[in-house]
Amino acid sequence: MTTATQMVSKNDLRASILKDSFVDFVQYYWDVVVPEELIWGWHMGVICEEKQRVAERVFAGLPKLYDLLINVPPGSSKSTICSIMFGPWVWTRMPTARLINGSYSYPLALELSRKSRDVILSEKYQELFPIQLRQDQNAKGYFANTAGGYRFSTSTGGSVTGFHGHFIDVDDPLNPVEAVSEVELKSANDWMGRTLSTRKVDKMVTPTTLIMQRLEEADPAGVWLEEKEGITIRHINLPAEINEKNEKDVRPRILKNRYTDDPDQLGSKLLDPKRMPRSALKESMAKLLEYGYAGQFLQTPVPPEGGMFKIERLHIDTPPTSARQWLHKCRFWDKAGTADGGAYTVGLLMGEDTDHRFWILDVIRLQLDSGEREKLIKLTTQMDGGSVIVGVEQEPGSGGKESAENTVRNLAGYIVDVNRPTGKKEVRALPFSSQVNIGNVWIAKAEWNKTYLNELILFPRSKFKDQVDASSGAFSVLTFPGGRIGVI
């Protein structure tokens, strides 16, 4: 017969084990919030261990070593581990801890918060960790315990005024199942960079964890991965499948050795063959198509096979030097009007030679205000010479028309083509990409090649699209049947 003393001793031992191991904690309380039987994957252990490693320094009051970025595919139990289980485990060690959690939508944030609270209120938790919640602060989106700890949940762009966290955790700041607009990208990045970054109990100690699927080059994960002074990121990157093309994307690299050989596809290895077998991945690819699958499952904004532009079919060479070898040329300007920020002003020179090959001859790419931009356009036009057509993009609205008219007046005496783009950028880029993909585009070797090619590789998921827009515009001018020169 088990005595009360033995039961207390058994509970104390179990509580001690669960406090010391977030992995064991997640496994023990799994059935409180997930009705299905636990199928444990090694990647789940990695996520738990990384979260605990960050938390231990907070418990000890030590400065953080880094913020944590985790990119994993859907179905990896990332939300259960990071947004549901982590808070209740933290309170077993630090009941005074304050946590701020964010997700792309408020209903989702509330649901994750509710499940986290369910863990705390469960008999199974209370038996070992009698944390009491305050009755006057016990709502889905904000609940607090009697020791002074709390969890505040919000959505991307939401207010966090008045709250400061020992831990800040963001789980999918963008909706992975919807197309992401540039406005949403900017909003999410501004919210993380300007709002959440100020809501820390101690800026030197409080870690931020961002866990998400990759969607765009300029999504919050992409922004974090850009080199920035004073910011250190530990990156956990686990694609759903790897092969010789993308195994280099696994972070840390050593984790690629833990992938399992795919019995259904030679040369491929799987992250989780039980929950994400080849059949499930094929179904996901059919629904998401190549770009969606590449981002959400492979954790790269561009498919391994390449995006719209197959840049391996471009030729980098020395262009013809004789004027007789050229049919015509166009310097197309994709204009931006903000100095030292925002989009770039791009002036791209494209030519068609007598063999009907298209050449990218020069790319000017600068962040300028409107006055400096117009001076640059005029100076460059003078240097290009009168035989080069000047293409100018006219943005929608009266402001765009006025800007185009000013440029035309500024270039009196030169041939100017005013282009009014319609439709999506990727649709406008199709004619030019067709020439790239059949190997009929050449590039003059120059310092700007790397930046230009990188944008083509990532388009339409690239952070900036100005060079592709300028390429599309120049190609349209050179191949337009008839004339529209100088028409406003």
Q: What is the pLDDT of residues 264-296, one digit of tens each?
A: 999 999 999 999 999 999 999 988 877 789 899
pTM of the full predicted structure?
0.76
Tell me how crowded residue 33 is: count the other CB atoms within 10 A of its CB. Answer: 16
Q: How confident is the model at residue 482 (pLDDT cuts 50, 70, 90)?
A: very low
Residue 7 has pLDDT above 70, yes or no: no
Indicate the angle between helix axes 425-437 and 466-479, nearest 10 degrees. 70
Lowest mean pLDDT among 1-10, 200-209, 364-373: 1-10
One DSSP character per residue, 424-476 reads -HHHHHHHHHHHHHTT-EEEE--TTHHHHHHHHHHTTS-S--HHHHHHHHHHH
* Arithmetic mean of pLDDT over the chain: 91
Model pLDDT, residue 260: 97
Q: Could you give the CA distance from residue 311 to residue 433 in angstroms, rounded to a whole number?
A: 10
Q: Could you give the CA distance from residue 178 to residue 185 in angstroms, rounded to a whole number?
A: 12
Kindly calculate the radius of gyration of the chain based on its CA atoms and give it in whole angstroms: 28
- How many helices and strands (H and E) does the chain possess? 15, 18
Mean pLDDT, to the nearest integer, of 84-99?
98
Model pLDDT, residue 485: 45
Q: Could you give the CA distance from residue 274 to residue 278 in angstroms, rounded to a whole number?
A: 10
Residue 229 has pLDDT above 70, yes or no: no
Q: Could you give the CA distance from residue 297 to residue 237 in angstroms, rounded to a whole number?
A: 11
- Domains of the chain (ranges; CATH) run 4-237 (3.40.50.300), 311-479 (3.30.420.280)
Query: Would you say 218 and 189 are in contact if contact means Cβ atoms under 8 Å apart?
Result: yes
Tell me how crowded residue 138 is: count the other CB atoms within 10 A of its CB. Answer: 13
Query: Would you say 474 and 333 are in contact if contact means Cβ atoms under 8 Å apart?
Result: no
Lowest mean pLDDT among 57-61, 140-144, 226-230, 419-423: 226-230
Residue 1 has pLDDT above 70, yes or no: no
Q: Extract the tokens encoding 415.
A: 């041939």
Q: Could you give the CA distance from residue 209 to residue 289 in angstroms, rounded to a whole number?
A: 29
pLDDT per position as a tens digit, 382-428: 999 999 999 998 887 767 788 888 999 999 999 999 988 888 888 89
Helix residue ranges per DSSP H, 346-442: 370-384, 397-410, 425-437
pLDDT per position as a tens digit, 333-357: 998 856 555 679 999 999 999 999 9
Write out the H or E segment, with its range, that includes residue 143.
Answer: strand 142-145
Model pLDDT, residue 483: 43
Mean pLDDT, to the nearest integer, of 422-444?
92
Query: Would you say 160 and 195 are in contact if contact means Cβ atoms under 8 Å apart?
Result: yes
Q: Extract the tokens encoding 199.
A: 């809501």
Report the DSSP pairing between strands 133-138 and 167-171: unpaired
Helix (H, G, I), strand (E, B) or coil at 94: coil
Q: Could you give the CA distance from residue 69 to residue 467 in angstroms, rounded to a whole number?
A: 30
Peptide bond into 320 cis (omega under 30): no
Q: Extract the tokens encoding 274.
A: 């039980």
Which residue would you say has higher pLDDT here, 48 or 10?
A: 48
Q: Shortest CA distance to 72 belongs to which of 95, 40, 46, 110? A: 46
Q: Extract the tokens encoding 440.
A: 């009929």
Mean pLDDT, to the nearest integer, of 136-146?
89
Query: Would you say 63 and 219 are in contact if contact means Cβ atoms under 8 Å apart?
Result: no
Percent of the chain residues past pLDDT 70, beyond the cut: 94
In the sheet that holds 133-138, the strands lie side by side as 133-138, 142-145, 150-155, 98-103, 167-171, 208-212, 67-71, 233-237
